[in-house]
Structures are given as structure tokens and as C-alpha cells.
Amino acid sequence: MKFYSRVFLAICLAGSASLACSTAIAQSASTKVDFIKQVQPILAKRCYACHGPDEAESGLRFDQQASVFGEAESGEHPVVAGDIDASELVARIKSVDEFERMPPEGDPVTPEEIEVLSNWIEQGAEWDIHWAFKPMQAAEPPEVDDPAWGQNPIDAFIYDGLQRVGLQPNPPADRRELIRRAFYDLTGLPPTAEQVDRFVNDSDPLSFEKLINEQLESHHYGERWGRHWLDLVRYAETNSYERDGPKPNAWKYRDYVIRSFNDDKPYDQFLQEQLAGDELDEVTPETLTATGYYRLGIWDDEPADPLLARYDELDDIIMTTGQAMLGLTINCARCHDHKIDPIPQSDYYSLLAMMADVTSWGTRGDQRSNNQIDVTSDELRQKYQANDEQRRKLEADMREIEQTGIAKMSAPDQRATEGPKRERERVLKKKLKDNLDDEMWEQYQAVQKELAEVVQQGKELPPRETVMGLAKTIAQPKQTFVLFRGNPHSPADPVEPRFPTIFETEAPTSFPEMEGSAGRRRVLAEWMTSSDNRLTARVIANRVWQFHFGRGIVRSSNNFGLLGTPPTHPELLDWLAQRLIEDGWKLKSLHRLIMTSRAYQMSSAGQQKGLSQDPNNETFWRFDPRRLSAEEVRDSLLAINGSLNRKAYGPSIYPKLSREVLAGQSRPGSGWGNSSEQDRNRRSVYIHVKRSLLTPLLTAFDFPDPDLTCEDRFDTLQPGQALSLLNSEFIHEQAKRVAALIGVTDKDDLEPNEIVTRCIAAVLGREATSDEIADGKQLIEDLVNRRNLSRQRAAELYCLTVLNWNEFLFVD
């Protein structure tokens, strides 16, 4: 049987129309039918419309095992394992009687589909659940015949897969390619020419491991990998809508993420802090900052329907949590049972109940109390308190004296002192002295002076520190209800906080007592990060793989459900996930393991057999080349000309935006600050993310819209990118800096071929070829002689061309 399936795979790979293969159903009776891949899709497509999650005509649901094998209202059994004749399903789909035949509308079930269903019943009608909803399977790395591919367990899985389809893995990438790949992968920055040379000439067999370790220790690692997380949690620093108002201290959450990666914080802890940083045993400013997770979404300060807006806000959190942490589109069950995955609507609201103590971002009148947490140190807090008390006492003393004087004043004056503060002060200033005796007046002045000093001292205290997060929660949330069609004005059945049923975990019976919150999120966080959670580890292991290799083992990394893409290497995925847990959820260990594999170090070159059999590289016969990401493009431009400011962390920065870009705003320039040149040269991850004003250079290179979670960025190649790298003020500034860096001055003392050689060395970290020198020299000379440009300008323009080269923009 295994033999057949291997042949089948090979045929599939050979065919270019691989889509047809994935739904291929024709096969011999002896081949084992796969319920998930073959039967379920037919049932979903042909039967669910009337007998499924939405409607269960005649009480029959083809998405539920009990219903399929049970007795229908008609008395018949839809499916009887091993008995085609007794299975009403087969009789109905084969029937020629138009009143009998199912489905009653649309095309009849095809003969191939009938064959699959019949074979499945004949073979025992094994009902299976979707792979991702099963517990992780214990997987041993397979034995492989090439010892070099047997050392790293990852390689054993990959090599075994290739062997099965008769493909050979690519040879190793050359060292120049490898260092560039690893640098961009771990830090998002190119290696310098010296780093390349050193690595290329380093004969130490452990040199690559050394390089990996060095880069993992660089703070640039967190800047690159933290950004992956920020995409997933739709990080932004404003609220969108008309005012697109700021989210104060949002950048501290961004720094929290970057720091967590740099510190190699265990992933389970990372999730716990974000989900329940206010409910942990040890609550620190850091864990409170982590709860900024709940504050990243869009927020309408003027909603037409406030109750709906509240549920939209929670839905945004459920969608993000479900997809980013669990790889589940639970959000699809907001208005009805999930159409495809076994997630009933009640699961959605039970999960919502787990987070029911999360308050809204704020109200139009108060946009801070719910989301800004005072994390000032106790010592400083006490100083503030002492200062406050002193101030209040002195104010009371003053008032007492004032009242003595006021008592002697005329009635209208007395009345005036009871009115607005301004009035009172006017009267006091004018008449208090005359109504006090000298001693009291002196005393009054002394107190006044002392108060001024105390106020001044208060002003001189270091500022209180606030972070963005769950500043207020609801200690006792109201009962949660399933909402009919998702309508908050139509509550239906009550639900209790519990986990989605597909996980088959017991509903929590109690929640820890917390001060000010419901204790539910902590339970949620613990469940989510328990080692037997079926999805959490798989989902993050898959993401780590995705960001190293360009695609996940499950390509739809936010959707492990039935509509997601199945894993190309399911055993490898489960193995990696379990290994991650064994290593204490430490991502850096996983990076090391993956990057030291031969699979990771393969060349990206084409290979005839691979290209023809598996053009999409499903089997990882090569390492997929890729374009630089938006941040990598910008950061590399700054890095190679030496102007990159490598400072880590801190408030966000504002690159210069041109007038025409700002003109798109209703108040041009509103909400966009000025940064010093030094700050403008910082890495892109520190650029202020304003929802209605994204930086055009980044957007051109597929920086994602920050309103919704992004599992994987697009890799478009569009003319707008070319225009921004040819004509923007930014690119010309960078080209000019490259020219200056390589010694171009207005004295014209650098020969054209020298300009070319130095420029290529600076930008690409290698020697120029003779063709390149000839071309570059010709261009520069032509610009000078025929176009009458200065040598300096011509050199700058030459540098600009090199910044546009594919070699610079792509990683092999």
C-alpha cells in the first residue's frame, strides 16, 4: 500500500497542475482512503449545506460522527461501516429517482466521488479528526542512508521526504551566500565586507555555529524576530478612525517584545505575560507592559453603536489570539458555528468569557485610565506621596488664615470668595492683607513661600513611569451570552468561561482570586502554554521554521484548521514542536538546531530535476531565495553607507515624509513628529506606526496593514518599488552617503573605475568583475561627458544604480 502512495506522490510532483492532484480522488479500491483528505471534503462540499453546521435537515449532520453513523429520523443509517448496501448515503447519491437523489439541487455527485465514499465505507468507514486537532504524535527521525543527512534530526526528516520522491537535496550554499543568508535571517542586516571575508576564510569547522551564536547575541536579533511577532499582533501606535489618536507608551510594548526575543525568554512565559501579565504570581512592570497586547487594536472613539463596538473590540482580540497563538480562526464562529472547523458558536463566546474582564481602550472623554498603568517605583511613589501630603497640609494652613481674613470682609467680598477660584484669588490679593494682623500676615507669607518650594520640589521629581496595558479590568464580569447572529442586542444562551471543545480539555471549575480582575486570563494562559496543548507549540515551531525557510511546514501559519494548507512534513513539525517544549520553549535553541541543519545550508540554485518535479519546493530540495523585507531594504541602505544608528529601544522615530504624502491627511502633518537626523537613521522597527499614515517606502515593499494580524507578508514586485528606489529623496540621500563613504569628493580625484570597485565592495561586500567595471566606468564617463554632470554627481548616480541591483535586494 505504501508503494502505491509513493508512486502517487511522485506523479503529483511531476505534474505541474498540482492543484488537481491535491483533490485527486481516482484510485483503486485497494488504496486506503484518507478520510480527512478525500472523504471530508466531499461531505463538506456536497452535504453540509443542508446537513451541516448551519442546517441539519432530518436531524442529520455530516460534520458529526454520531449523526453519520446513528439512526436518522427516517430510521435509516446514513453510513454503516463495511456495508455499502446498508448505507443510505450511497443509495441516495446513486439514486436515479429525482425525488430520492441527493443532493436535490446542483450537479449530482460524480462517479469518482461515489467511488471514494463507497471505498471508504467498504474499508470500514474510519472516522478521523483533522491532524491539527489531535495530540502531537511522538515522531522519531527516520533512518537515512546518507550519514551526513542523518546527523541533525531535521535533515533526516527532510532527506527521507526527498528520497521518497526520488529527489536529491541541493549541495551546500557557498560561504558567501551562507553568511548573508544567516545575517539577514537573524538580524535583518547585511554582513560587512570584513565579516564576509573573515567567514569565507575561516576554516574552523565550527565557524558557522560561532557566527550563529554571535548573531543571536546581537540586539539586532530581537529587532528582526520581534518584528515578526509585531506583524502577528497587528502592532500599531494609534487607534485609526477620524482622529487616529495616539496609543501612549505603545512603544514600550514593542520594546518588551524585542527584549523578550533578545533575552531568549521562554515562549510559554512570553505568552503568559501578554495574556495575563497582571495576574501572574509575580507581577512586574515588565509583565504589565506585556498586557499592552490587549491594547494594540483599532478603536473608534465615537462609535455609532457602543455595545457593538465593545464586541468588535473583543472580537479583534479573539481573532488575533486565536490565529496568532493557536493557529485557529475561532473568529469565524462569532455569528454562527464555524462553517468548516468543528468550532461551535458557543466556543467563541466561552473563549470571550475567558477574557470578559478586559476593559475597552477607553472612552472619548477618558483615553488613559483603562490603558495607562503607573509602574513608578515604590521609592519614587513615596516621594510623590510625601510631596502631595506636604502640599495639602500647607494649602490647608493657608486656607485657615485666609478664612480668618475673609470673615472680616464685606458681604459681597465674602460671597465672591465662595465663587470661582479666580474670583476668590482676586479678592484675596486685593484685601486679605488689610484684614489680617501683622503677625498673621507674616505667617501667611511664610506658608505661601514654603508651599511654592514644595510645589517646585514636586516638579523636580523624576517623572512617574507609565506603561500601556490593562490598567483597569473588571473584577466580576457579567454573564456572557451567545449572541444570536453575533448581534450584541440579541443575547441567547448563557455560556461559562472554558476552552474550545476541539481541545478536549476539561472546563475550568474555578478561577484564582484576583484583586481587580477575574483570574480567568491566567487560567487561559496556563492552558494555552501547557505542554499538552495541541496547537500552541506546533504553531510557534511552524512560525520559526517559516521565518527561516520562507514558508511554514504548514503554509497557512495562522490557520491550522481544515481550510488551511496541510503540513508538507507533519512528523517533522510535531518533532520540532516537542523538541521546543523539551528545550524549555527557548526559541534560540530552535534557531541553532534549524540553522545548523544541512537543509538550511543548502544552495538556492535551480536543479533540473527539482524544478521539473517539485517547482514549488514542497520537499525542500533547495533553500528558497527571497526578496528583502521592507525593513531590510531600508535598514540595509542605511547600514551599507555607514549611517545606520544602531541604538536599540526607546520612543518611536519619525522619518521625513514628503509634502505630497502628508497632503493625504485632513490635517497635513498631524500626529507626525520630527526626529533628529540621527534618530531618523535608526532601524525601521522603531518607526512610529500610525495607522492612517504608513511610511510609503515600507508600504511599497509590503509592510502589512496593521489593523489585522499578518501571518506572512506579501512579496510583490511592483513599479512603485522601482520608483521609490530610483527617485525618492531618501534613496538619493543614501546614494550620496555611499559616494561620500567611498571617498568621492567634489575634487574629482577618484577615477571612475575606482568609484565602481569601491562602491561594489561597500554595497555588496565583494570585488567588482571586469564587466561591472567596464559598464560602470562607461556610465560615469557618459554622465560626465555627454550629460554634463559633475563627476561627484555621476558617482552618486552610479552608487544609486548599484543600490537598485537585484543582488542587493535578494538573498540567495
Scanning residues 663 to 692, which ones bind other proteins (CB under 8 A)?
Answer: 663-668, 691-692
The C-alpha cell that represents 103 in the structure block = 443532493
Closest CA to 554 of 319, 322, 716, 711: 711
Residue 727 sits in the site that holds other proteins (CB under 8 A): yes
Peptide bond into 266 cis (omega under 30): no
CA distance 61 to 69: 10
Pairing assessment for the beta strands 491-495 and 480-483 based on DSSP bridges: antiparallel
- Residues 273 to 302: which contact other proteins by CB under 8 A? 298, 300, 302
Residues 559-598 that bind other proteins (CB under 8 A): 559, 561, 563-566
Q: Find the shortest distance in angstroms from Cβ 227 to other proteins.
A: 17
The residue (of 451 and 779) whose beta carbon lies closer to other proteins is 779
Please tell me whether residue 13 binds other proteins under the rule CB under 8 A: yes
Q: Which is nearer to other proteins, 386 or 563 (CB)?
A: 563
Instruction: Work out whether 175 is an interface residue with other proteins (CB under 8 A).
Output: no
Quick one: 68 or 803, whose CB is closer to other proteins? 803
Q: Is 714 in the site for other proteins (CB under 8 A)?
A: yes
Q: CB 242 → other proteins: shortest distance, Å?
A: 3
Grid coordinates 538573498 are at which residue? 811
Binding residue (CB under 8 A) for other proteins from 719, 746, 747, 770: 719
**Among residues 6, 9, 142, 514, which is the contact residue for other proteins, using CB under 8 A?**
9
Which of 728, 740, 753, 761 forms a contact with other proteins (CB under 8 A)?
Answer: 728
Kindly state the helix (H) or strand (E) to which residue 491 belongs, with its residue range: strand 491-495
8 A C-beta contact, residue 565 and residue 556: yes
Q: Is 363 in the site for other proteins (CB under 8 A)?
A: no
| Residue ranges in 297-336 that form contacts with other proteins under rule CB under 8 A | 298, 300, 302-305, 312, 319, 323, 329, 331-332, 335
Beta strands in 255-407 (DSSP E): 372-374
For 797, residues 6+ apart whose C-beta sits below 8 A from its C-beta are 735, 779, 783, 789
Interaction between residue 162 and other proteins (CB under 8 A): no
Does position 367 interact with other proteins (CB under 8 A)? The reply is no
Looking at residues 593 to 632 of the shown chain, list those that interact with other proteins (rule: CB under 8 A).
604-606, 611, 614-618, 625, 627
Task: State the Cα–Cα distance between residues 590 and 812, nearest whole angstrom.
Answer: 22
Q: Which is nearer to other proteins, 292 or 564 (by Cβ)?
A: 564
Among 772, 529, 651, 754, which residue's Cα sits nearest to residue 254?
Answer: 651
State yes or no: residue 793 binds other proteins (CB under 8 A). Answer: yes
Considering the complex, state which of residue 409 and residue 725 has its C-beta at the smaller distance from other proteins. Answer: 725
Which residues from 240-259 bind other proteins, rule CB under 8 A? Answer: 240-244
Q: Which of 466, 556 has the CB closer to other proteins?
A: 556
* Interface segment toward other proteins; rule CB under 8 A; list 139-147, 225-233, 537-545, 787-795: 787-795
Shortest Cβ 655–other proteins spacing (Å): 14
**Per rule CB under 8 A, is residue 804 in the interface with other proteins?**
yes
Give CA–CA dist 314/483, Å, rounded: 13
The sign one gets for the Cα dihedral 339, 345, 349, 354 is: negative
Q: Which of residues 26-65 bind other proteins (CB under 8 A)?
A: 37
Centre a 10 Å sphere on the Cβ of residue 759 and count the other Cβ atoms it contains. Answer: 28
CB of 79 to other proteins, least distance (A): 25
CB of 604 to other proteins, least distance (A): 8
Cell numbers for 346: 458557543
Among 707, 748, 751, 767, binds other proteins (CB under 8 A): 707
Query: Does 1 help bind other proteins (rule: CB under 8 A)?
Result: no
The answer to the question of residue 800 lying near other proteins (CB under 8 A) is: yes
722 binds other proteins (CB under 8 A): yes
**Selected binder of other proteins within 86, 380, 451, 789 (CB under 8 A):** 789
The tally of CA atoms less than 13 A away on the side-chain side of residue 773 is 11
Mark 735-745 as b/e (b = at least 16 C-beta within 10 Å).
bbbbbbbbebe
> What residues between 750 and 769 interact with other proteins by CB under 8 A?
769
Listed residue (772, 609, 592, 756) closest to 208, CA to CA: 592
Which CB, 490 or 658, lies closer to other proteins? Answer: 658
CA-CA-CA-CA torsion sign (444, 445, 446, 450): positive
Written as one letter, the residue type at 683 is R
Q: For other proteins, which is the closer residue by CB, 114 or 563? A: 563
- Of residues 654, 668, 644, 660, the one with CA closest to residue 741: 644
Give the integer Cα–Cα distance in Å for 277 and 288. 5
Q: How far is CA 44 from CA 91, 130, 344, 489, 689, in A?
A: 18, 13, 16, 32, 41
Q: Does 4 bind other proteins (CB under 8 A)?
A: no
Minimum CB distance to other proteins, residue 617 (Å) = 8
Cα distances (Å, whole numbers) of residue 617 to 549, 605, 606, 625, 671: 11, 12, 10, 11, 45
